[in-house]
Structure 1
Amino acid sequence: WNEYEIIVDGDHVVLKINGQIVNEGTGAEVVPGKICLQSEGAEIHFRNIRLIPILK
C-alpha cells in the first residue's frame, strides 16, 4: 500500500506520497462539495481514508 497525504490550506494544495512531496500548487478554488477518488486505466482500492480539518 502507498500512503497519500493531501493537505489543503486555503488555496494552497500539497500532495505527498509515502512522506515525499510530489506535487504542490496555489490558486485552488475552495468550494463546498464532494471528494472524488479515481484511477486512470487500472483498478484501485482505497482503505483507511481519514478527513481531518486543519484548525487555525
Structure 2
Amino acid sequence: MGEMVDKAKAAGNKLAGGAKDAIGKATDNPDLQAEGKAQKAKGAAQDVSGTVKGKLGDNV
C-alpha cells in the first residue's frame, strides 16, 4: 500500500512542479521556477521511495 501512496504523491508533485516551472519560466519568475524544479525533484525522490517499498515491502 505504501508503494502506491508514494507513487501517487510522486506523480502529483511532478505534475505540480512541472506546471510551476513552466509558469515561472513563462512569466520570468525565477522564484516560482526554482520552486517548481524543487517540487519535481521531491516527486522523483518519492517515486524512488515507492519503488524501493515495492521491492522490499511496505515496512521499509
Which of 1 and 2 has higher RCO (CA within 8 Å, sep 6+)? Answer: 2
More helix as a share of residues: 2
- How high is the TM-score relative to the length of structure 1? 0.22
Q: If you compute each CA radius of gyration, which structure gives the higher value, 1 or 2?
A: 2
- How high is the TM-score relative to the length of structure 2? 0.21
